[in-house]
Each structure stands twice: as structure tokens, then as C-alpha cells.
Chain A
Amino acid sequence: MSSESRAAIFAAIRANRPNIQPPLPDVPLFDANAPDDLVPPFIEMLGKMGGSVLEVKDGDPIAALRAAITDKGIIATCVPELHGDPSLQIRAILSDMAPVSLADVEIGVVRAAFGVAETGTVCLTDDELIVNTAGFLPQHLIVLLDPKQIVPNLHHAYKRPELRDHNYAVFQTGPSATADIEGVLVHGAQGVRSLRVLFCPAAVQ
């Protein structure tokens, strides 16, 4: 019985735990050397982790996005910057879609809540993804990121409200990867085969 086991486990812990009372240390932010502009270190780390930046020409990120998805197969979008359009095979992700219905998607287009310069990470949450599988069932991912929403390191990242308020939040860094066979790195183990970040300020809500 689970409730009896619960009582037994707590009794054992209380009987056995070492009789010392060391305090919980405060965790510093370790950000004294953080640069003012966090975009260059973010890009460098993203590249080191196997991701890349989707180049923007003439300051028009949406044009870059459209060029990147044209004639590439089924596209799924969770961002207001790109609307669903069946004639272009662009599918708008809706909250009532079954998670596995995204299995045939070639490129998913999602927005990150924020980025982390230390590791080149983007944070995707259930709110932005609408259907969680949008982050990893498509073959490829394009992630929109507001350059103002980059924090210096993981200490700052864990201060963000997304970690407290969302049932699902993932720090994704580059594409899915594995080196389980002889250390040879292969992208696209189970999740996305590629991850590109598109710098694009968030639309005014």
C-alpha cells in the first residue's frame, strides 16, 4: 500500500538522517563578467551546440522565415507572425490537435520565451508551443527569439517565471543529438534534426 509505504519511508528517513543542521547556501548569480550585448555569445554557443542562426536580410525577419519554409513540405506554426495557409502547406497549431498529429511535419515554427547566452539555449514552454510535441516531432525547427529576451546564464534562467508557472518548459540547445555509438555525433536522434534561431522581436500583444 502506497500510504503505508509513505509512512514507513518517512519514519526511516527521520530515524536515519544525519543529526546535523547545515544551512541551505545562497546561490550567487555569477554574472559579474557578463557582457552588455548578449547576442554574440548566444550565437557563438548556439553554433557550438549544433544550432545555427537564420540570416535576416534588410531587417525583415518575416521575409527570411517565409524564404526558409517555401516549398519545404508540411510546415506547422505556433507563432502569430506566420499564419496557417493550406495552399502553402502551412498548418496552424491549435490546442485541440492530437500530439501525434504533428508527426508528418517537416518544419515547426515556434517562439522561445527566452534565450540563455551561456549555453546558446532557447526556452520553449507549453504556452508558446500550444501542443507540446510541436517542439520535437517536426523534422526541423525554426525558433523565433526576441534578442532582448536573452539572459546571461543558467542562474538567471532559473529565476524566470516560466520555470514556476508552466507545466512544461524545455531548455533546448541545438538539435536532438546522440553520440551513443563510439562517440560519433549524429543530429536528429529522436527529436529535431536541425534547429535554427530567427531573431525577431515579439509582436506587440
Chain B
Amino acid sequence: MSTPPKPTTPAGRTSEGASANLTHGAGASVTMPARGPEPQPRGAVIRGNHPIDQAEAAKRFMAAPEHLAMHDQRLWDLRQKRDRQKDQIEEWEDLRQLASDIKTHTLTHLDTYLEEFEKNAKANGVHVHWAKDAAEHNAIVIDILRSKNAKRLIKSKSMLTEECGFREYAGEHGIEVVETDLGERIQQLDDEAPSHVVVPAVHKLRTDVAAVFAKTIGSDPNDSDVAYLTEQQRDHTRPLIIGADAGMTGCNFAIAETGSVVVCTNEGNADLSANTTGLHIVSVGIEKIIPKCDDAAVFVRMLSRSALGSPITQYTSHFRGPRKGGEMHIVLVDNGRSDRLGMEKFWTSLKCIRCGACMNTCPVFRRSGGLSYGATYAGPIGLIIDPTFNRHKYSTLPFSSTLNGSCTNVCPVKINIHEQIADWRRVMAENHEIPAFKKTMMKAAGMLLASPKLYRASLPTADSALRYLPRFIVYNRMNTWTRGREMPSVPKETFHQWYKKNRGKNGKKS
């Protein structure tokens, strides 16, 4: 039996979404081969305040070859798309420097700009609230919703609300929260945190999504066609959007000069969330402030190019005040940010615009998945932000890095991420937050490295040992470095031996 042709739309496409090989915007620029099915590896095991074992979760991710290959390929493609975009903009490096300088200026004058933003937002008819921490943020939002007798909240993606655990809190207080970003909705329906700040479900295969949707919204469990899955979600979510009582968005940039917030999405779901109901609540981290409209141009030009290798998000939305007949509330949230501002080595992490470029380029992130970090922020930026929330629980995260510096090189606001990762390792060592075994090894290494004589004497021994030791001694369980790595081949002599032989005592060639 032949299936009837699908009705065409004015755009000439079938009504069930676009064709499968679009390569622009946020899409992959390469054909991703069909993969799976394979059981989805889950994230880090959370045991109360116990330090997260990222390596353990990463190991499980690497043991799922289909997931690993897709994740690695997708994120590396995003990095390459980012490079192609950057290469088309002559002033790219100027923009990075401008962005970094604007953020430096703003963060060192943060009180002034917050006051200006508040004054202008109020003049636009916006209600402005202040929350010192996550608990206060959640309570304020619930209070606003209750005052309007709102039961269902439609919401666009916001890392701040993830940080605050808002969705769980709202659920406990009788509010039905509907995430409207596809990736975030997938994660909500699967009761899993987002694994990436821009592409929340990037660690899932389409077959994983098909299984989640079959269980939760009744799609065909055997149909993992991406256009079909996306359409199922649209059909399922749209009535929830139309019938919602309130909307909530995050904020990418808050412009002090105008009192407006800028929200960037590809789906248009922030606009839906903000404008469809009569109530728009915006959660804003206090570090999101920028002084002027002129400054917004610098960041908007770089955000999506850095994140997805696309020139701009499909929707860049500016909300300055309530829509006609509506109400708008902005909740400005500190939640540790003012403390971070006082950390000499780490305050510049507040410049972050959450583009995720550091994640896409990071070899550790690409091979371990964002959920392996067991924290709201994963990848390189997570390694330097998470410990500010809980120094003990996230004490091992700064060690999940090769310190190759690629994150720093792609960061659009020029945060010295890899240097801060190294600095956090020092902080952890000073605060005795290093596992005993690593500590003993580092103490021994420290003694060796502190003494040139000892170091030089030890090198030929170590090298020849490496040459002659059987594999099982070098690649054993105690040596975490060689898990998943091969040791380099050993030189015949050390540099100092070569120098002594060839250049003699006075440095001249013999």
C-alpha cells in the first residue's frame, strides 16, 4: 500500500518539517551517519557532597562507541564551523578584545551599571526584583506566579534557572513547567540535566530521543527520524503553549542604557514564552549586564558564531518592557557572583557569555559528555565556575583537563580558562582537596622538580625504565595518566646528555 503524499506548504516543503540535508545555521555541516541504537550512558554518580568522579562517568561514556563517535563528531564539527565563521570576519580578533574589555569595564563598575539598568527597566514599566541566592530567586518567581494564579509556566532555556534548581522547586509548588527549547524539553522529559549550555541533548542519539518521546508524548518508538521527532514535539508542546498562564525566559545580555534584555534562540521559543501569555518573568544573572546597545552588537556578532558556527541565532529578541496589556518582571540574581568578583585569580570567569565554544573544542569534553561533570556547568568553563559553588564537591573537576589551552584560544571574551584551571588545581592542593594517591605522587614529583640535580639524575633512569619495562607495569591501574593514553616513545638520551656531548662545557659546538 502506498502512503498518500504529504501536503505541501507555501514554502514548498512537506508539512512535517524540512528536508534532512540542510547544512546552514545551527545544523551540522557534515553528513552524520546513522548510529545506534545503543543504551545511553548516564552521567556522573552523585553521592551527596562527595567529590564528583568525572573520570568514572567518562569511562562509561567512552565505553559506548556509538554515542562517543556521534558526540565527538558533532561537537568537532561545531568547532570547525566556528573557525569558518571567524575566518570570514576580518575584525574577529578586534571583536574578541572589545568584548573582553567591555566586560572588564562593566564588571569593575558593576554596581553603577546595575543601578542604571534597574532605573531604566523600572521606567519602562518592568517590576525589578533582587535575589541573593537560588532559594530567593525560586521563592520570588513562585510568589509572582501565585499572585497571578498561574498554574502552567512556559519557559525558554536558561542556565541560571538550572543553577537554581528552579524546575524541581516549581514542580514541588504545584507549577507545571513546560520547557519550550527542543533539547531542553528532551532533557526535561528524560528527567536529566542539560549536558551542554547550547545544545542540551547533544549527548543523546536520535534513538534515545525516540525512546524518551515514545514513553512521554506517545510518539512511535520505532521512528527515530529527526524531522518526525521534532514535529511530534511541536505538536505536543504547542497546545501547552497556547494554554499557558505565564512565560519565563533567561537573558543573554541586559543592556543598562535601555533597561532591556536580549535573548537569543534558534527556535523562537523565547518570543513564544515571553509574548503568548500576559506575564513574562526574566531570570538574569547580575554579570549579564552590558553598558550600551553598541556593546550588544559586539557580543551578538560573536555569540552564535562561537557557539554553533552560525552568523546569528535565528531569533535575537529584545524585550524592553511588557507587551500591551501584559506584565513583565525581571529577577536579578547574585547566587555567588559577587563573591566570585572578589577572587583575584577567578573573577574574569564572570565574563562568560555561555557560548559553549570551550566545550566544543575540549578533547576531554568531547569524549566524556557534559553529564560526566555532575555539575550545572560542564567542560572547561565548568571546571573554573563549579568550584566557586562548592569547593569540595567539585574539587576533582579542575583535573579533568589536558591544559592544552584550546578553550582559551576560542573564548570570545578571552577568559584565560586553562590558566584558571591550573590555578584551581593549586587552590585544591592548598586546601587539601586532592585525593591521597594523587597527593603522594605530586609530593614526590614536587621534590624531584624542585631540585635540578635530582631531576637530571632521575631522567635517564625514568626514560630507560620506560623503554624496558613491560607494558603491564607502565599501563597499570595506579597510573591514571596512561588510561586511554599511549606514552610517547622514549628518546635515546636526555637533552642535557646531548648538550654535554655535542656542545661541551662552554656551549660551543665541539
Contacts and interface: CB of A to CB of B under 8 A. Distances in A.
Interface stretch (B333-341, B363-371, B404-412, B414-422): B333-341
**Ordered nearest first, which 7 A-B pairs have the shortest CB separation?**
A191-B268, A185-B27, A16-B342, A194-B11, A183-B28, A180-B183, A12-B338
Contacts of A64: none
B503 interface: no
Interface residues of B, number: 112
Contacts of A66: none
B271 A23 contact: no
Given A9-B338, A17-B111, A119-B311, A163 B318 contact: yes
Nearest to B183: A180
Nearest to A12: B338
Indicate the size class of the contact surface on chain A: 35 or more
Contact of B226 (A5, A8, A135, A184): A184
B224 to A, nearest CB: 9
Contact of A182 (B25, B140, B205, B268): B205
B131 A186 contact: no
A5 B323 contact: no
A188 B317 contact: no
A6 B130 contact: yes
A59 interface: no
B362 interface: no
A31 B70 CA distance: 39
Interface string A57-88: 00000000000110010000000000000000
B110 A189 contact: no
Nearest to B124: A167
A187 B292 CA distance: 33
A20 to B, nearest CB: 6
B25 A50 contact: yes
Interface in B214-259: 226-227, 229-231, 234, 237-238, 241-242, 257-258
A106 B11 CA distance: 11
A182 B242 contact: no
Nearest to A16: B342
A179 B294 contact: no
Given A18-B347, A25-B105, A133-B276, 9 more contacts: A13-B341, A49-B314, A103-B238, A137-B272, A153-B301, A155-B294, A179-B25, A179-B199, A190-B180
A9 B130 contact: yes
B375 interface: no
